[in-house]
Structures are given as structure tokens and as C-alpha cells.
Amino acid sequence: MSSTHQAAVGHDAPTKNADLLSWVTRCARMTQPDRIVWCDGSEAEKKRLTEQAVKEGILIPLNQEKRPGCYLHRSNPNDVARVEHLTFICTPNKTDAGPTNNWMDPEQAYTKLGLLFDGSMKGRTLYVVPYAMGPLGGPSTKIGVELTDSIYVVLNMRIMTRMGKPALDMLGDSEDFNRGLHSTGDVNPDRRYICHFPQDNTIWSFGSGYGGNVLLGKKCLALRIGSYLGREEGWLAEHMLILGVTDPKGQTTYVAAAFPSACGKTNFAMMIPPKSYQGWKVETVGDDIAWMRVGPDGRLYAINPEAGYFGVVPGTNTKTNPNAMATIAKDTLFTNVAMTADGDVWWEGKDGEVPEELVDWQGRPWKKGCPEKAAHPNSRFTAPMTNNPALSPKANDPQGVPISAIIFGGRRSNTVPLVLQAFNWTHGVFLGATMGSETTAAATGKVGVVRRDPMAMLPFCGYHMGDYLQHWLDMQKSITHLPKIFQVNWFRQDKNGKYLWPGYGENMRVLEWIVNRVHGRVPTQETLLGWVPRQGDIPIQGLDLPPEAIAEATSIKADEWKSELKSQEVFFEQLGTKAPEALMLQRKLLISRLGS
Ligand code: SAT
Ligand code: MN
């Protein structure tokens, strides 16, 4: 190591990787931290950083008898969700980022953010956080290093990834690692940028402390950069949960499912089958991201690149997600939930009575009946996957799990049926491409408006959306055993605004049908949109539903489809000449079937 390296990165740098050392040196010269700390991921380090975070008021200890190892973090009130309008893909050519991403010229972005990073860590500590996305040593696993001035980020990365020495060991002398630089700056919403440089495998994030903006392994590397690498290298990086469902005979079927943020991926991935499903078991491989590549046997194998869950808290209770409740009982970081008088956490939709008095997510006194929410609608838990009672034994398998079914689901109060199966892969890609969903609190902006969200990747695709859809179509050439593709919508309502389907654990009934279809165990009924269950194939015994419930939830309403087709057209027009031919043909076929 040269003496300049030693001076800048500290004498105790636990690596001889020259690329890593010189990059850390350059970043440190720019940001000018007082100290550089290399994170090893040890228990002692966790203890030390947690104590320091408590001392600095970044973490508030919760009642350690009720929630051992749990802490509360209150973010800046203007920094509570992903900021899509400040998220950029910085490719040399604007067209490579495509019409659905914000674009900035890479040189301009480096210069602009360079000015913000300049001296931004003065008086602060720069933490060097090496991490692995994926099981250590696996063929799909990627290494990243995040430089950050936030203890909160370090402690979250420690839960969400395989962080520290093992990741550094896996990297060795290689220059193949993602370079992530993050500074919270002064958390000024006007000076906040999340910039991705796919060509340089680099991410610069400035001015935010919110998870999706700053835990750089997650949306930035595992999805935006990941999807770019996936296209180059012939695999898929997707916004999907992965679960294994085991039937009473012991056969396990693995399913990957894409839903937009805050639409129930975590609930579905941790589902407990209802009592009538004795002998069935659902196990979680992942709750948010899937990396899928073709295995030697021609099947599509998925890994979860993450090691923890960054889940939405409100609405979580022992009915909607008992496994999540168990998962967050210990060693969990809560962000922006409310606090009870005895130092426990509270949120809208938690079990039990609403407490008379709380401290709300901003630290203000809150009284029962107050019209404002006590917990922020996008409040989150960060919990290790090992806390999950339903964790799949395959969650750490470097080879991943073979996927037999892919599900696309949006939040739609009308139009889209409860469930349908695509006629084939190309039709399935069309179903994914034409996904729409009502917006949620996971991103800043208006909630509840339908937006096109192809494969739930709109905010996460790191290149041109048209090329992305073409990549999906092309994948069928290399997968010899194609997963079957399905579409679901748990959120359809009747004309009085009542949900047509109970959701949560009862989704097992739909999942069983999907598994039966995968294994060719039940015939179906063909409709204009795809194959749907025949009357009786999805059992509704024990549910408070009329006999025609499934028929209504899968019905096709001509007027709704008129506006749906129009909205899809606007989306495809945006893709211009990059809208894949095969999908345009699917669109024509659908229009002629519907006669609109
Ligand atoms: O906030 S995150 O981007 O990490 C989660 C999500 O919105 O899906
Ligand atoms: Mn997500």
C-alpha cells in the first residue's frame, strides 16, 4: 500500500485490494471526514455503533423486556419515502435510460454531486461498509461497498445484507464491486440526488436518510444496477418475492411474484395457510427482490440477494401477517412508527385497543381520536430474515430455488381479475408489461392514482423499459422449462367499494390453484384475458362470500377495459420504436378479442 493510501484510509484498512483502497482514498479526499471506520460486521461493532447511535439520539431504545434488541429511529419529516423525481440513471446516452427514468449526463452528475459531496463529511465519520448481495460464494452473488456517514445506514445494512469481513474476503483482490457513496448532507429536500452510473457500477446518493434512497444494496444495486447487469449477462433482477409452497404430499413448488411497493409482497411471502389447508406450508425465500438465472438443467433459479426485510409496518398484525409479527419481536429497527407510554411501538392496524396516548412518529404527543396518523403510512421495520419463523431452508442456498410460477399483481379496485393464467410466456410478459397499480405511500407523491408499473419495475429498471421488456421476451430462448405466468389482483372491489376477496392468508386458495395449474392438475376456463379457475376450483367454503364470488372477481367489464386499453396505449407509445413487436401483437390480439 502506498503511503498516501495509508494516510487517507487509515492504517487499519483490513484489505490490500488496491482498487478498493484507492477509491476509498479518492472519496475521502472529496468528502473530508474526520475519521474512517472499516466495518467488519461483528457483534462488538454492532454494540458499539448502537450505543453511539443512542447517545447521538439517532436511535431510541425501546422497552427491552417487550422488544429485546429493538430501537426506534425518527427520520427527518421531509425524508420518509423514495424520491423518484430525484432518482437518476446516468448513462452516456439519454436514450439508454429510456422515457420512464430521469436521466442526467454522467459527467454533469459527477460534477454536480461532487460539489455537494465536497467536504460533506467534515466533522463526521466515514464508514466503509463491504457487503454481499446473495449467499456468500454463490454464482449470482455480487459484492458492493457503501461509503456512508450515517450510523443508521450501517446498522440497517448490517441487517439487510451479508455485511463486513466475509464480504471483503469474498471480494479479495477483485476490482469487480459496486462503488456506492452516500452522505446524508443536511437532509435538504432541494439538494437530494440518487444517481446511478450503470457503466461504472457506481451509485452516488446525497441528501437523504430514507431506506430505499440510501441502503444502496437494495433498490439501487439489486434492482437498478442489477437489471442493467442482468441484461448484459443474461439474467433477471426483479422486484419479486420468492416463496416455496409445500403440499400435504411434501412436494415444494417455488413461486416468484412481482407487486409494486406496499402492495403486500411481505405478507404474501410469509403467508400462513388457513386452517382448511392442513398439511400445507408456505416458506419465505425473499420478500422484495429476486435475482433469477438459468441453471444447468434449463430451469430458472432464483436467489434473494438480501438478508433481511425492510417492510411496511402499518396494517401488520397477528391476522394479516403473524410471521411478520414474530419477526419484529426482537432485534428490529423501527423507523417512523409511534411509541407507547411504556416504550413499545404502535402503528395503525396493530392488534388490540388504540392506546389513549402515544408519541407520534415525529415525537409529538398524540391522543386517541386525533385525525393525524400516529405512525407514518410508510413507516418501516428492518429485521433479519433469520427471525422469520417461516424462513425457507433454501434462503441461504447459493444455487437458489427453481421457479415454476411467476405472478404479476397490482393494486386495482376494478378492471383486473382476481387471478388468471397467461396463455404462454409471451402473453405472460404482456400481462407483466401492462401491469397498472394505484400508487402508495412508498414513494413521495399522490396516493391512489393508477399508474402503469410494468412488472412493478417502473421505479427500479436501470435502463430503457422497451429493452427491458425485450430482454424478458428473449429469456424464453434460454429457459428450457419455462415457468407458467399468472396475474393476480387481491384488491378488486364491488360497486359499493367492498373488497371482493378477503386477501392475506386466504390468498392460499388462489395459490393452491396456481400450484395445481403448474402441475397440470386442474383444467381451466378460457376467457378473453387468459385462463381463469372454473366454478368451484377455488374453494370458498368458510369465507363470508356469495357462491358467485369468484365469477364476479374474475369478470370482464367492457367499459373498464376500454379505458384500460387506452391507458396501456399511452404507455406503449412512450416506448416508441422500442416497444417490442411481440407485445404489440399481443395488444392487437387482445383488442380484437375484446372487440374494442
Ligand atoms: O423504500 S424501499 O424502496 O426500500 C421499499 C420499496 O419501496 O419497495
Ligand atoms: Mn420493494
Same domain, 251 and 325: no
Q: What is the pLDDT of residue 190?
A: 85
**Which CATH number covers residue 194?**
3.40.449.10
Is residue 582 a part of any domain in this protein?
yes
| DSSP output for 446-491 | -SS-EEE-GGG-TTT--S-HHHHHHHHHHHTTT-SSPPEEEEE-TT
Distances in whole angstroms, Cα of residue 55 to Cα of each of 49, 61, 340, 455: 10, 10, 21, 43
Give 1 Cα–ligand 1 centroid separation in angstroms: 39
**Which CATH number covers residue 572?**
3.90.228.20
**Residues constituting the chain:** 596
Is residue 65 a part of any domain in this protein?
no
Same domain, 327 and 424: no
Same domain, 158 and 258: no
Is residue 291 a part of any domain in this protein?
yes
Nearest to residue 41, comparing CAs of 308, 242, 260, 303?
308
Same domain, 368 and 441: no
Q: Ligand 1 atom 6: the closest Cα is on which residue?
A: 261
CB 310 less than 6 A from any atom of ligand 1: yes
Q: Ligand 1 atom 2: the closest Cα is on which residue?
A: 212
Q: Are 153 and 214 in contact (CB under 8 A)?
A: yes
Structural domain boundaries enclosing 183: 3-58+82-234
Q: What is the pLDDT of residue 12?
A: 80
Is residue 70 part of the annotated active site? The answer reads: no
Same domain, 347 and 426: no
Q: What is the pLDDT of residue 10?
A: 58
CB 442 less than 6 A from any atom of ligand 1: yes
Q: Ligand 1 atom 3: the closest Cα is on which residue?
A: 212
Same domain, 330 and 342: yes
**Which CATH number covers residue 353?**
2.170.8.10
Q: Of 177, 203, 234, which marks where a domain is finished?
A: 234
**413 has binding-site annotation:** no
Q: Of 357, 387, 417, which marks where a domain is finished?
A: 387
Same domain, 224 and 242: no
Q: What is the pLDDT of residue 8?
A: 56
Give 219 Cα–ligand 1 centroid separation in angstroms: 7
Same domain, 332 and 450: no
Cell numbers describing residue 266: 411481505
CB 218 less than 6 A from any atom of ligand 1: yes
Helix %, strand %, coil % for the chain, to 5? Answer: 30, 25, 45
Same domain, 108 and 197: yes
Same domain, 279 and 417: yes
Give 236 Cα–ligand 1 centroid separation in angstroms: 19
Is residue 69 a part of any domain in this protein?
no
Tell me the pairing of strands 236-238 and 290-294: antiparallel
Is residue 111 a part of any domain in this protein?
yes
**261 has binding-site annotation:** yes
Separation of alpha carbons 451 and 211, rounded Å: 23
CB 158 less than 6 A from any atom of ligand 1: no
pLDDT of the chain along its 596 residues, tens only?
344 444 457 568 999 999 999 999 999 999 999 999 999 999 999 999 999 999 999 999 999 999 999 999 999 999 999 999 999 999 999 999 999 999 999 999 999 999 999 999 999 999 999 999 999 999 999 999 999 999 999 999 999 999 999 999 999 999 999 999 999 998 888 899 999 999 999 999 999 999 999 999 999 999 999 999 999 999 999 999 999 999 999 999 999 999 999 999 999 999 999 999 999 999 999 999 999 999 999 999 999 999 999 999 999 999 999 999 999 999 999 999 999 999 999 999 999 999 999 999 999 999 999 999 999 999 999 999 999 999 999 999 999 999 999 999 999 999 999 999 999 999 999 999 999 999 999 999 999 999 999 999 999 999 999 999 999 999 999 999 999 999 999 999 999 999 999 999 999 999 999 999 999 999 999 999 999 999 999 999 999 999 999 999 999 999 999 999 999 999 999 999 999 999 999 999 999 999 97
Same domain, 352 and 492: no
What is the per-residue burial (b if ≥16 Cβ within 10 Å, else e) of 245-259?
bbbeeeebbbbbbbb
- ipTM for the whole complex: 0.96
Q: Are 315 and 262 in contact (CB under 8 A)?
A: no
Q: Of 234, 252, 287, which marks where a domain is finished?
A: 234
**265 has binding-site annotation:** yes
CB 400 less than 6 A from any atom of ligand 1: no
Separation of alpha carbons 289 and 303, rounded Å: 8
Q: What is the identity of the amino acid at 349?
A: G
CB 212 less than 6 A from any atom of ligand 1: yes
Cell numbers describing residue 566: 387506452
Nearest to residue 488, comparing CAs of 399, 552, 406?
406
Q: Which of 203, 310, 376 to mutate to test the pocket of ligand 1 (most atoms within 8 A of CB)?
A: 310
Alpha helices in 485-557 (DSSP H): 507-518, 549-553
Burial label for 171, CB within 10 Å (0-12, 13-18, 19+), is buried
